[in-house]
Structure 1
Amino acid sequence: MAKYYCVLFDADNTLLDFDAAENKALTDTLREYGIEPDAETVQTYRTINEELWRQLEKGQIRRDKLMGERFTRFLKAVNAAGNGVEMNKFYLDQLSTHPDLTSPNVLDVLRELSEVATLAVVTNGFDRVQGRRVRESGILDFVEDVFVSEKMDSEKPNRKIFDAALRALGVENREHVLMVGDSLSSDVQGGVNAGLDTCWYNPNHAENPGKVVPTYEISSLEELYPLVMEPEELANVGLKNRRHQL
């Protein structure tokens, strides 16, 4: 019998290509404000943004502070004029229009797994952005629900977002739940905090510094098949199989 009947997926850089979406949205935003999107300028924004997200994940700041400050700090750093709050709104509007997938086979993998397990997305981010990207990417066809940190009022790695998601899905036995994501600090640590087995999606074969140890490590989403499927289901990938009961 397969071990996992419920699989929780991170969105950005696991199912959705956030790096590609961010590049496009940030380029459009900078040009809208008359700022050349050269490598140094883009890195300045990313450094500010990543630091604020780290603080948010640690519970050191609130979401509205990140929203209000990242472009305000950026404009000051590059000595450019503009309203940081309005710039952030424009950026999020642009970001929501880019539902790029991490690979062409993402939907095929979700289709196969959805026949044998309950799937859901647990993602940090903003509801109007993530909701639209998940919907327009086609992911929504194969998942039971999408849990976005803004709407849930809790960010990964806090276990509260996982607790709420599992309650909503009607899942009680956490031994049969697997959390899959690309971030050790957010997805894997969050799964550990919630008492779940975890799978680190590591397509670029990055080194694990060892602070957080996942249950599994994969470099392609197809490697989830033997973790989730029963032997006869694995042998018949592409055919509709029965759903597990939670």
Structure 2
Amino acid sequence: MTKKRGKPECVREFESEREKAPNRRYMKETDKMIKWRSEFRAEETLGIAILQRQHRLQLEQMQQGEKQEQSTKAEKERDINILPAYSLPVRPFEAEIKEMRIEYWKHHSRMWRLLRDLPSSGTVDYMLVHRRHQDESNSSFIWIKDQRICAETGGCCGRDCGCCEKALHKYYQPDPSYEAPKPKKPFYVHGHCTVECACCIKFRQCYMPHPKLPVSKTSLC
């Protein structure tokens, strides 16, 4: 007889903490809570947009490098006396990538202020518990919950590219326990499609930069 496998520890921990936090559907929210939640979600989405643009820029930079290499190789094959085409136009990838790193740093500062000033509320706790925990594939439970919305709004979850399943960023979380702290564990940042998603830009063949980010001089379409 096959022994039935229980839920993974990460799922049990998530469900245990979720049960302790009241569901906002059953609680009256104040204007302050609603405002904070709206600002938090907007900033959270902006952070994903920044990472997605950075990924797109790095992808374009790599593709242009390959094109330059192919062009140089073709010229050498035609005539060994022809020098490589060093004068090919260089798009401002490095400058924009650096700009996105700065934007992500600013994003972290704004998120820190939001978390510092978060309202003391069970509804906020319920909202954050979905972001603190990840499943066995290192995806947060809010990411899992939002997959259907991404698919229904034309994002990559509605296609077989698997873009949303790829981590955009990684950092390490310290263990909050004082008695027997565990080693830091990696936390992977996944996000769903924004207007900066490289795959969506190629799929739609148009690009509308995020209104809160600097205008990009490059695009895949």
TM-score, normalised to structure 2, is 0.29
Structure with the greater alpha carbon radius of gyration: 2
The structure richer in helix per residue is 2
The structure richer in strand per residue is 1
TM-score, normalised to structure 1, is 0.27
